[in-house]
Amino acid sequence: MSQVAQGKGRIGFIAGFLVLPLALYLTFVIWPYIQTFGYSFTNWSGQSPTFDFVGLDNYAALMKDEVFRGALWHNLLLLVFVPTVTILLALFFAFMVNAGGRSGAGGVRGVWGSSVYKIVYFFPQVLSLAILAVLFGAVYRSDEGGLLNGFLTKLGLVDPVHPVEWLNQPDLALWCLLLVVVWHGVGFYLVLFSAAMQSVPKDIYEAALLDGAGRAQTFLKVTLPLLWDSVQTSAVYLGIAAMDMFVLVSTMTSGQFGGGPDHHSEVMATVLMRNFLYFGKSGYACAMGVVMLVLTMILSIVTLRATRRERIEF
């Protein structure tokens, strides 16, 4: 750290630079975070200025709340499938793009056109989730006007008189949303893994090639272990995204703040918002926020621990 910067008489400068950022951050981030814990022990409606301390009643009620328990289960399902599917696809594509094409003289390199693929795949990442919601709302339309139904009808796989009710089908809705998340995420993680792959020295690949390693072997024995840090980070990020899901569920599925049909696509965030803005149960909603925090923390720690391996330096 800079030695020049040391010395007295700079307290004013330091304080002056910190006061505004700190004030904003305390007011709008930290203080609300802390308040949530307090409110979660009250029966506050949000409307009236008065409320009672009810201890752990909200948490006890949460345990019995069928809708919330269903939502929790859906979040856990997404938590397993969103990272797994996205990471596997992204790894596969990243490997193809970076090391898929190979030839005797050039060693290992990406397939032809790989930079174009990287540009195209990444594009969903810059679109807002609201745009995705409208787009896939149209793709999943339950009549022949939906892209998916229209396409499947053309192929003769779907009866035009009874098209698939993608988002209205209780056992399909959640998986339809999962596909949107994967569609959105693969490109980003492809680029992320590509950056990690490119930082691996070429001679490691060349050595593997000389030893007669095939593509699968190169991937499993060389690429994957060297990428493990990135895979781990991605799992945590995707896990956090799977815990949220608010925008897609609330805008694409039926019901107040989404979650339909009949709570089959409900996630914790939509239940929270409904209780807060629609039922006016602010204290109860705060308890859900706390549960979401605890689960997110557990998720991050478990992912990082479970996937811990010896770090490979190169």
List the one residue out of 110, 108, 80, 84 whose CA is nearest residue 96: 110
Selected range binding other proteins among 57-65, 77-85, 109-117, 301-309, rule: CB under 8 A: 109-117
Angstrom distance (rounded) from CA 122 to CA 249: 23
Q: Does 168 bind other proteins (CB under 8 A)?
A: no
b/e burial code for range 91-122 (CB count within 10 A of at least 16 → b): bebbbbbbbbeeeeeeebebeeebeebbeebb
In angstroms, the Cα distances linking 225 to 15, 56, 196, 221 are: 46, 45, 11, 7
Task: State the nearest-atom distance from the C-beta of 121 to other proteins, in Å.
Answer: 6
Q: φ, ψ for residue 259 (rounded to 5)? A: 100, -10
Please give the structure tokens belonging to residue 216.
């699968």
Residues shown for the chain: 314
Q: φ, ψ for residue 204 (rounded to 5)? A: -65, -45
Q: Does 277 bind other proteins (CB under 8 A)?
A: yes
- Site residues for other proteins, window 110-149 (CB under 8 A)? 110-115, 117-131, 133-139, 141, 143-149
Tell me the residue type at 279.
F
Please give the structure tokens belonging to residue 110.
């990406």
In the complex with other proteins, the residue whose CB is nearer, 68 or 121, is: 121
Angstrom distance (rounded) from CA 74 to CA 270: 12
Task: State the nearest-atom distance from the C-beta of 266 to other proteins, in Å.
Answer: 14
Per CB under 8 A, the list member of 222, 263, 272, 274 interacting with other proteins is 272
Q: Which residue has the tokens 């990287």?
A: 118
In the complex with other proteins, the residue whose CB is nearer, 52 or 143, is: 143
Contact assessment for residue 82 and residue 242, using Cβ atoms and an 8 Å cutoff = yes
Q: x/- string (CB under 8 A) for other proteins, residues 33-72?
A: x-xx--x------x--------------------------
Q: Does 240 bind other proteins (CB under 8 A)?
A: yes
Q: Does 207 bind other proteins (CB under 8 A)?
A: no
Task: State the nearest-atom distance from the C-beta of 66 to other proteins, in Å.
Answer: 20
Task: State the nearest-atom distance from the C-beta of 238 to other proteins, in Å.
Answer: 11
Selected range binding other proteins among 63-71, 77-85, 170-178, 182-190, rule: CB under 8 A: 182-190
Per CB under 8 A, the list member of 67, 215, 254, 255 interacting with other proteins is 215
Q: Does 231 bind other proteins (CB under 8 A)?
A: no
Please give the structure tokens belonging to residue 63.
């345990």
Task: State the nearest-atom distance from the C-beta of 14 to other proteins, in Å.
Answer: 5
Q: Does 73 bind other proteins (CB under 8 A)?
A: no
Task: Give kind and range of the element (H or E) at residue 49.
Answer: none
In the complex with other proteins, the residue whose CB is nearer, 174 or 286, is: 286
- The upper half-sphere exposure of residue 39, i.e. CA atoms within 13 Å in the direction of its Cβ, equals 22
Q: φ, ψ for residue 101 (rounded to 5)? A: -85, 130
Per CB under 8 A, the list member of 85, 183, 224, 228 interacting with other proteins is 183
Per CB under 8 A, the list member of 59, 261, 290, 307 interacting with other proteins is 290
